[in-house]
Amino acid sequence: MPTGQLDKRGVQLPRLDVGKTEPDSKRDEEHPPGRFVSYEHEADCSRFLAEVKESIRRRAEAGLDRAR
């Protein structure tokens, strides 16, 4: 039986194979999605997202990602 998460009703959700997923082209946009009250907030959000993506990439390279 495949392992994965359960939804609210307790139904088994399929687990995606990370190697078979395709990246969303919208995720690589230069600016983060949404409206910001200032350019400073937008820059902070962009920097935060870039740092998180880099952290995720390093964890995956080190074998510490969630795929088991």
pLDDT value at residue 49: 93
Cα dist from 17 to 5, 31, 55, whole Å: 14, 28, 20
Cβ atoms of 64 and 57 within 8 Å: the answer is no
Query: What's this model's pTM, rounded to 2 decimal places?
Result: 0.49
Give the closest residue to 52 by CA, choosing from 15, 25, 27.
Answer: 27
Reading the chain (68 residues) residue by residue, the pLDDT tens digits are 445 567 677 777 666 565 555 656 655 557 777 888 899 999 999 999 999 999 999 998 888 876 65
The pLDDT tens digits of the residues spanning 38-52 come to: 999 999 999 999 999
> What is the residue extent of each domain of the chain?
23-61
pLDDT value at residue 26: 58
